[in-house]
Structures are given as C-alpha cells and as structure tokens.
C-alpha cells in the first residue's frame, strides 16, 4: 500500500463509530472560520442516570457550570489572557462541593483527600505547571499556575509536602484538611468500603485515629465500581475531574485541569490530571485538551496529546480527532471524556460515559451553554 493509501485508510477508519459529540463546532480545513475567543469547560464525566439526578440538583450543576463560564468570559471579553480565564473557571469549580476537585474532592482508601492539578500554554515552548498529593492548598490550579510563571522555579511538577510549603511561601491560601470534607463524598467513601457509618467522629474531619483502613475492602470497592459503571450510585460523578480550555484574542490556547482523583484510590496514587500530555495538553497550532474519566487509561494512551497528534499528523479537525480518541477508549474499555478547542474557536466535547458536565461560551455573543446528558 502506498503512503497516500495508508493515510486515506487511517482517515476513513477514524470516522467510524464516533462517540457522543453533540456540542461541536464545524471545522473547514480549507477556509476555517475564526469564532474568536472561546472558553470550553467540563465538570467531569461519569455514570449518571437522569433518574438519579433531581431537577433541583440538575439546576445546581447547570448554574455552577454557567458561573464558571461567565467568570472566564469576563476575562476574555476584556482582552485578558486565556491562562487567566481557565484558571478562574476552574477555581469556581474547585470551590464548589458539586465537583470532584478542590472542595468536592473524593477520599482515598484511608479517608484522606489528595488533590492534583495542571495548567499549560500552547505557545512554542509549551510552558506548564503541575501539582499533586496536596492536602491543604485550597485551589490547586492556582498553585500549578504559580509554578508555571515563577522564574525561580525551573520545574514543571511539584508534589507533596514541599509543594504545600512552596504554596505557603508564595502566599497562596491554605486550609485545614477538614475543609475538604463533604457529607456526599464521605458517603461515597464509606459505601465503597462496604461501611454504613456516616455520623460520629468519622464525620467530624476524619481525625487520624479514625481513618478507615481500606486494605480489607477491595472486594467491596470492586462492587462499588460496578455500580458506578451502571449508573446506580445516587451521588453522581465519584471519579470526575474539572477542566477548562480557552483561546484568547492573541490566539493563545491555555488548558487547566484539577481533580481529587478516583474515589477510594490508594494513598499516594497519582493520576493523569497532573501529567502533561495525559490529562492536559495545549498547542496553539493544533488544540488544547482537558480530560476526565479513568486516569490509568489516559496515562497509558497519552490521551490529551493523542488528540493534538491526530490533528497534526492526520490533518483531522478537532472534532474528528477528539471523537476518534474517545472511540479508541471505548474499544479498550476505558471510560473517558475530553474537551478540545483549536485556535479558531472550533471545539468538541466527546465522551463515552452516560453523562458529562460540560459547557462553552464565546465572546462573540456572551451566552453560556451548559449540558449534562448526551441529548441535552
């Protein structure tokens, strides 16, 4: 087969069996339409059934997504930087108990919260900042941004106690670990462990002597994960993430992603979110990508970078590239969703789960759009 024939075959194969991509923007490879500054966000993908999400709770999510979109819009509309817009949007979601990031983070096996984040610019040198294993930093995304822009820090990735020490030295807001406790996430934690208790000392900031030993709960956790996949869990989004991608008036793309990780993860586990190329990627010439879902698959398949690579080497649109990558995840059993945005403001939001919190806003009209289910 000739190189040309191989190239054509790859493109045809990529167009088959594409996942849910309802909210997309058209892309013309010959005459691309420049939509101007655009912000796209997600609040995590997961197994969420409509019957388990009340109208009141659904409205809460939609309002939270629109709040994040509006704050990012206010920055972009005034000529601000994409990196500031994505940080601001993600901070809103980190401060909300609804999403699995910041305040709403899930618990580890031992009952702790371990937060992580990353942020990246699409400029030629690909500057980035990332953090992990945080227990006291209120907004991990701001710490990642600080790492990115601090000329005294020649690193991309900081974690653990030294990262938290650095946050304090930089004057970033830190909190007592109890700040991250929420009843909904604690219930998910206990359900995953096969426990029934949600009251008492465990519900009062999980003091050290009452952290639950998760080493006996592997079987129960497997059953809980099966319930998650079937959408049977009442509390939505137990393994979600939050993220934002924006392009500004200068054509610079920025991406920010933040998470509490997977419910009942092993202490010390590092997911895809802080790993550049896995859960986060930005390149002005292709696209910016933020991912959500099963982090181990994102790491093994380098999902975020894969979307950009398909655009670069196969000349695919952002919609086709993102959808093809999510379709690949479906074929290997990975639950995933991504938001992807190119420099012209074209975007895609494919996912293979039952739902994904997501939305977008353009400076051209200033109208926030937010969705949860595939048919929204």
**Does 272 belong to an annotated binding site?**
yes
**Does 271 belong to an annotated binding site?**
yes
Annotated active-site residue 2? The verdict is no
Sign of CA dihedral 330, 336, 339, 340: negative
Helix spans in 51-156 (H): 55-77, 82-94, 140-149
φ, ψ of residue 355 to 5 degrees: the values are -160, 160
Q: How does strand 369-371 pair with strand 115-121? A: unpaired
**Does 270 belong to an annotated binding site?**
yes
Any idea which residue has 């994904």 for tokens? 356
Sign of CA dihedral 265, 270, 274, 280: negative
**Does 299 belong to an annotated binding site?**
no
Residue 321 C-beta-side C-alpha neighbours within 13 Å: 27
Residue 246 contacts residue 82 (beta carbons within 8 Å)? yes
Name the catalytic one among 38, 131, 241, 259.
241
Length of the chain: 376
**Does 102 belong to an annotated binding site?**
no
Sign of CA dihedral 143, 148, 151, 155: positive
Q: Which of 248, 335, 330 is nearest to 291 (CA)?
A: 335
Q: How does strand 253-259 pair with strand 355-362? A: unpaired
- 10 Å CB burial of residue 287 (0-12, 13-18, 19+) is buried
**Does 292 belong to an annotated binding site?**
yes
**Does 293 belong to an annotated binding site?**
yes
Residue 280 contacts residue 303 (beta carbons within 8 Å)? no
**Does 283 belong to an annotated binding site?**
no
Q: Which residues are annotated as a binding site for substrate?
A: 269-272, 292-295
Q: Which residues are catalytic?
A: 241
Q: Which residues are annotated as a binding site?
A: 269-272, 292-295
């Amino acid at each position: 087969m000739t190189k040309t024939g191989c190239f054509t075959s790859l493109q045809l194969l990529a167009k088959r069996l594409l996942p849910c991509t309802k909210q997309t923007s058209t892309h013309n490879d010959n005459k691309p339409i420049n939509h101007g500054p655009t912000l796209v966000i997600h609040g995590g993908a997961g197994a969420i059934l409509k019957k388990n999400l009340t109208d009141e709770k659904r409205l809460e999510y939609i309002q939270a997504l629109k709040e994040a979109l509006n704050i990012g819009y206010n920055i972009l509309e005034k000529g601000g930087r994409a990196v500031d817009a994505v940080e601001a949007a993600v901070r809103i979601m980190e401060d909300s108990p609804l999403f699995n990031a910041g305040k709403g983070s899930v618990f580890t096996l031992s009952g702790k919260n371990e937060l992580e984040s990353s942020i990246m610019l699409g400029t030629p040198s690909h500057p980035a900042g990332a953090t992990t294993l945080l227990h006291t930093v209120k907004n991990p995304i701001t710490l990642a941004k600080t790492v990115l822009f601090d000329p005294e820090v020649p690193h991309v990735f900081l974690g653990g106690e030294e990262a938290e020490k650095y946050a304090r030295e930089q004057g970033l807001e830190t909190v007592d670990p109890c700040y991250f406790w929420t009843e909904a996430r604690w219930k998910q934690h206990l359900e995953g462990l096969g426990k029934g208790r949600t009251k008492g000392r465990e519900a009062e900031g999980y003091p050290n002597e009452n952290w639950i030993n998760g080493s006996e709960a592997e079987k129960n956790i497997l059953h809980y994960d099966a319930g998650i996949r079937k959408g049977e869990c009442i509390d939505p989004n137990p393994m979600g993430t939050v993220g934002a991608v924006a392009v500004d008036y200068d054509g610079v793309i920025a991406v920010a992603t933040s998470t509490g990780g997977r419910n009942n993860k092993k202490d010390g586990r590092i997911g895809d979110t802080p790993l550049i190329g896995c859960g986060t990627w930005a390149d002005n010439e292709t696209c910016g990508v933020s991912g959500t879902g099963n982090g181990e698959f994102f790491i093994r398949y380098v999902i975020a970078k894969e979307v950009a690579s398909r655009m670069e080497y196969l000349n695919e649109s952002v919609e086709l590239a993102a959808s093809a990558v999510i379709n690949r995840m479906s074929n290997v059993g990975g639950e995933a969703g991504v938001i992807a945005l190119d420099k012209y403001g074209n975007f895609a939001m494919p996912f293979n789960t039952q739902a994904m919190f997501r939305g977008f806003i353009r400076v051209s009209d200033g109208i926030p759009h937010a969705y949860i289910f595939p048919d929204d």
